[in-house]
């Protein structure tokens, strides 16, 4: 078994990876600025900050594999993808880490969103760092789809972007894929994983409405420009790489229960 450091181990995918790795018998550490409220038995927390470099080298002592599932959703936090990646990969190389596993997004290099561009740069930094790296690109999480509908339902509407489909996946299954990559005998440059089936945004909205009992109205929305083409052309999908087995409806019903 390996000693694995999970960076971003308090987030949606990172915490799922922590649980899966611990269940498989690995020695697991979590690097984050603040101590998590709950950690699986045997998992330790190491304080650190990728943007300042504080605590990173110390956290990597004796580590075999690093799993990075960091997220920077705002402009202010986005440097964690770029400057943070430079800090982490340099420290990992210095510490003799044998493998890096990086979480990214399917189609991230297919459209020029600012958020996606930062992720592409993060992939490039990891690939060039001199440590064997596996990039796990996944489709959107079920939890993200749920949060979109839950937010807009407060205003009585559920958006259904015309022509858009999503192949959403359960966060626990993303954690399993990250653990698979960390445990593999040999690294792969990049793999893609998706949920069990691409579904239209309209169908997903109707599923959310049915399971939650919401009375919000499903509203078709056009999305012009590059973002609209990206979605209509299905470049956010990977139907040939179905990995998840839990549907959005199953996951939603289970999470509500």
Q: What is the CATH number of the domain that holds 15?
A: 3.40.50.720
- Over the stretch 203-232, which tens digit does the pLDDT of each residue have? 999 999 999 999 999 999 998 898 899 999
What pLDDT shows up at residue 1?
Answer: 81
Establish if 225 belongs to a structural domain.
no
**Domain containing 18: what range?**
3-138+171-193
- Over the stretch 150-180, which tens digit does the pLDDT of each residue have? 999 999 999 999 999 999 999 999 999 999 9
Find the mean pLDDT for residues 28-41. 89
Establish if 157 belongs to a structural domain.
no
State the Cα–Cα distance between residues 212 and 147, nearest whole angstrom: 13
State the Cα–Cα distance between residues 51 and 68, nearest whole angstrom: 14
Contact 71, 8 (CB under 8 A): yes
Establish if 61 belongs to a structural domain.
yes
- Over the stretch 65-93, which tens digit does the pLDDT of each residue have? 999 999 987 888 889 999 999 999 999 99
Establish if 103 belongs to a structural domain.
yes
* Count of structural domains, the chain: 1
Angle between helices 171-183 and 12-23 (to 10 degrees): 50
Establish if 242 belongs to a structural domain.
no
What pLDDT shows up at residue 186?
Answer: 73
**99 vs 44, 49, 74, 151, 198, CA distance in Å?**
20, 20, 28, 38, 32
- Over the stretch 120-147, which tens digit does the pLDDT of each residue have? 999 999 999 999 999 999 999 999 999 9
At 156 the three-state DSSP class reads: coil
Establish if 237 belongs to a structural domain.
no
State the Cα–Cα distance between residues 168 and 242, nearest whole angstrom: 10
State the Cα–Cα distance between residues 251 and 150, nearest whole angstrom: 15
Establish if 108 belongs to a structural domain.
yes
What is the b/e burial string over 8-42, where b = at least 16 CB atoms within 10 angstroms of the residue's CB?
Answer: bbbbbbbbbbbbbbbebebbbbbbbeeeeeebeee
Q: What is the pTM of this model?
A: 0.94
* Across 1-10, 74-83, 101-110, 135-144, least confident range: 74-83
**130 vs 18, 47, 71, 90, CA distance in Å?**
25, 25, 23, 9
State the Cα–Cα distance between residues 119 and 136, nearest whole angstrom: 12
Establish if 151 belongs to a structural domain.
no
Given a cut of 70, is residue 107 above it in pLDDT? Answer: yes
State the Cα–Cα distance between residues 8 and 28, nearest whole angstrom: 13
At 137 the three-state DSSP class reads: strand
| CA atoms within 13 Å, Cβ hemisphere of 23 | 11
């Amino acid at each position: 078994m390996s000693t694995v450091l999970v960076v971003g181990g308090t987030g949606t995918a990172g915490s799922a990876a922590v649980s899966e790795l611990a269940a498989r018998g690995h020695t697991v550490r979590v690097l984050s600025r603040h101590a998590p409220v709950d950690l699986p038995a045997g998992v330790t927390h190491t304080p650190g900050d990728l943007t300042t470099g504080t605590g990173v080298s110390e956290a990597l002592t004796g580590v075999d594999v690093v799993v990075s599932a960091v997220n920077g959703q705002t402009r202010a936090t986005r440097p964690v993808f770029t400057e943070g990646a430079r800090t982490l990969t340099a420290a990992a190389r210095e510490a003799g880490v044998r493998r890096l596993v990086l979480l990214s997004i399917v189609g991230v290099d297919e459209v020029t969103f600012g958020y996606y561009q930062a992720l592409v740069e993060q992939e490039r930094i990891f690939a060039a760092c001199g440590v064997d790296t596996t990039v796990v690109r996944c489709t959107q999480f079920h939890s993200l789809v749920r949060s979109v509908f839950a937010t807009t339902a407060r205003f009585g509407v559920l958006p259904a972007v015309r022509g858009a489909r999503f192949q959403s996946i359960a966060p626990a299954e993303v954690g399993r894929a990250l653990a698979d990559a960390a445990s593999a005998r040999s690294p792969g440059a990049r793999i893609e994983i998706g949920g069990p089936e691409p579904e239209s945004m309209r169908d997903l909205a109707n599923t959310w409405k049915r399971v939650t009992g919401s009375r919000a109205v499903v509203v078709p929305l056009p999305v012009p420009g590059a973002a609209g083409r990206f979605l209509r052309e299905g470049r956010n999908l990977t139907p040939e790489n179905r990995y998840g087995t839990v549907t959005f409806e199953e996951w939603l019903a289970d999470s509500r229960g």
